[in-house]
């Protein structure tokens, strides 16, 4: 069962997943959550945050509360400024595209 973080029974996106290494940005956050084995709500799936002007700020994926895959960070104009790659919450080098 998945929940949008604005749901009353879930936790705020910032409390249900590790956002260390990602800049703090003022703006709306959207995430999906599910209960883990201990019954706590954790972020699981797409995470998106927008700047107050509606432009994208952060996009990434959570896997049971841990950052996973490619995370993109954007400036207030919507221009991508950084990419980070995570495997089970640990930052790794961004994989190079395959030829």
CB atoms within 10 A of CB 86: 20
Q: How many whole angstroms separate alpha carbon 15 and alpha carbon 42?
A: 8
Q: Which residues pair with 85 in a beta bridge?
A: 70, 92
User: Does residue 63 surpass a pLDDT of 70?
Assistant: yes
Q: How many residues would you count in the chain?
A: 99
Helix, coil or strand: residue 75: coil
What's this model's pTM, rounded to 2 decimal places?
0.76
CB atoms within 10 A of CB 26: 8
Res 10: pLDDT: 54
User: Does residue 66 surpass a pLDDT of 70?
Assistant: yes
Query: Tokens 């029974």 belong to which residue?
Result: 9
What are the tens digits of pLDDT across the range 28-62?
888 888 998 999 889 999 999 999 899 999 999 99
CB atoms within 10 A of CB 87: 12
């Amino acid at each position: 069962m998945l929940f949008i973080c604005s749901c009353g029974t879930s936790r705020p996106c910032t409390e249900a997943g590790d956002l260390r290494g990602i800049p703090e940005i003022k703006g709306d956050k959207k995430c999906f959550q599910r209960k883990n084995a201990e019954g706590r709500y954790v972020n699981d799936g797409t995470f998106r945050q927008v700047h107050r002007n509606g432009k994208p700020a952060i996009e990434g994926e959570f896997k049971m509360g841990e950052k996973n895959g490619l995370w993109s960070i954007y400036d207030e104009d919507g221009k991508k400024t950084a990419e980070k790659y995570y495997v089970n919450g640990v930052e790794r080098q961004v994989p190079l595209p395959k030829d």
